[in-house]
Structure 1
Amino acid sequence: MARTAELDFVIFGATGFTGRLIAKRLADTYGDGGKYRWGLAGRDGPGLAYLRDRLGWPRLPLILADVNDPRSLDEMARRARFVLSAVGPYQLYGAPVLEACLREGAGYVDMCGEPHWMADMIRRYDAKARERGVTALLSCGFDSTVWELGVMAVQETAQARFARPAPEVRSRLLRMRGALSGGTAATARETISRMMGSPQVAALLRDPFALTPGFRGPEQPDGESVRFDPDIARTVGPILMAAINTKNIHRSNFLQGHPWGRDFRYEELAVIDEEEVSDGGSPLAATAPRPGDGPPLSVLEAGYFDIMVIGIDPSGRRIACEVRAKGDPAYLATSRIVSEILAAASEAPSLPAGLWTAGAALGTGLADRLTRSADVIFTTSVLAKG
């Protein structure tokens, strides 16, 4: 049975760059006190009030909460069925929020792209969340929900057409235009620092099965090669986000009981001869934005992504799913995606307890919802044999 609370969900870190985008998306789409009851939370009271005024919904509840004040986090979690943590880097500020949700029985949602922190949270809290009936959805956004749902769409079609899953899936980032925020820059710097200071963290970041405790599948593609891909007739090479998405794809298969097989192999590469693919600048540059800052709306609106996910069965038959959307992937598109994940989670009569990926917890219907309500388009087709 779904937990009852004053609010369906609350955005913690609402005055941050991504938090503001999510708040605006929810306000523009759902208003306040309508279909969903939601609120804004953070440590900056005047900032929250200013944001509420800008959103134009004066009845939105404001909740003061600070990661350094566990009682305030408990009060926030007590008032909401789900808490969206938009405060990063998660490796610095994420654990207290998740811990408060576990204490109070609230669901937890984040947009984490920090696998070493996620592995630590799974080790420390997955069993406790299952015992307490708490659902935590990690990595909800461009990384890694759209990639996970693309794989799920391919596997669903392969099962329907070929009566078996595809044991190998290759994802290709065809085109992307994205920018950089201060929060992302801070996360990258912190992750690099920890990786350089800890051989264990460095090894975990290289391990495709870092998020599947107790299970190791077959040897995976190295993800470092540069080669011509005949399926898309383009040259492809390594992509930074594969270090996040590959682990979440394997965790999704693991959480669902290996419907794609225990021998499943996954590879993620990007087209490297496409001049429009952009990372928006280096997080290590002196000109990188500060936490809380990010590109203007005009830059965000000029962004986009286009992904091709290809499943291959043993006879060489291929299923493809193209996933595309307009808007900066990490910010504008993610704000739409995570808003709908919050809405879907709050509507679900029940969800599996523990630390989950969004696709594995909410099912393939999430892709349909994102197409209807978040302008993320999934197109599945059968390709000729390679």
Structure 2
Amino acid sequence: MGFLLFFFLFLIFYAYFGYPLSLCLLSLFRRREVAKAPVTPAVTFIITAFNEEKRIKEKLENTVALQYPADLLQVVVASDGSTDGTNDIVRGYADRGVQLLEVQTRGGKENAQKEAVAIAGGEILVFSDAATMIEPASLHRMMANFADPSIGCVSSVDRVVGRDGKPCGEGAYVRYEMWLRDLEGRVNSLVGLSGSFFAARKEVCRDFSPEMQSDFRTLLNSMRLGLRGVGDPEVIGLYQDVTDSSREFDRKVRTVLRGLTVFFKNLEFLNPFRYGLFAYQFFCHKLLRWLVPFFLAAALLINAVLAGGCYLYLSLFLLQAVFYLLALAGWKSPSLTRTLAVKLPLYFATVNLAIAVAWVRYLRGNRLVMWTPSER
């Protein structure tokens, strides 16, 4: 049992730290630079929205202020069966080059994106949501990556701040994810894109499916075509922390559930003889990470049994107990989450609980395709 305890603790450590450390070591011997150059391909900028009357105006003002040749930029708002004033607000921007695509029957985010792709005229498709604000020069910076013919898709860097303007628990976790993506792009390719702001060549977006997570699948489509995905640290998507933590938990469950659906429909990418280093990345970043909740539960239960055996096991058990108690305290008393000592355990525990719930739903056959944007 002692061996099993340390084995599960090792797997948890490797999922979050061992894997990125292995990429750090690999980067000493292998680096894949992006041959950027100033290019201005025709772009279709797709905003997916569902009942976004409260923030669609701010998003559209942000979008029409982007610095890009007007004759090369098509802006499409794919309204996924919106029943509030979203569509009327979007129509008010028709004279500023914004096109409304009304998807009459609500079919989910990916379905709305698929409908938008069908009418897109650009060589490069950019996907964003109503909650994400973008710097005016972002499109030019993002397009520079596509001067490199090996690039199939480009992800933004996510930045999350609390309503007080300070880093939040989610923000710290997102910064970790962005650091990991930077490592992945440096040695080979990203494994996933920021769903709130990413771009791809049109040819890798031709088979969007309403049932599959578009950002994850777009990256896999790129790899299948012999291309790769990268993140650009100069392309930033800024959004606020969520206002309703319970709804955010549901969003995390949906995100992982959709990710599991894509993963198990694309098991070919675990073949190292065909996809080389990407197979290792695919396993570590996705499957190993999604198995962490089970490793955590196993480690805690085994440690509880061994705690009375020696001080080492007792100390490890107490460390785990304190970590989870801090998370529980943050959940029970939101005011305590002003400190990172409570925010991070709460966010870590919440993420892994959401992953566990997603597994249960996936194994029960749930393949959720509907979406409700998080309140921010």
Which structure carries more strand by proportion? 1
Which structure carries more helix by proportion? 2
The higher radius of gyration belongs to 2
After TM superposition, is the score higher than 0.5?
A: no
**TM-score w.r.t. length of structure 1:** 0.31
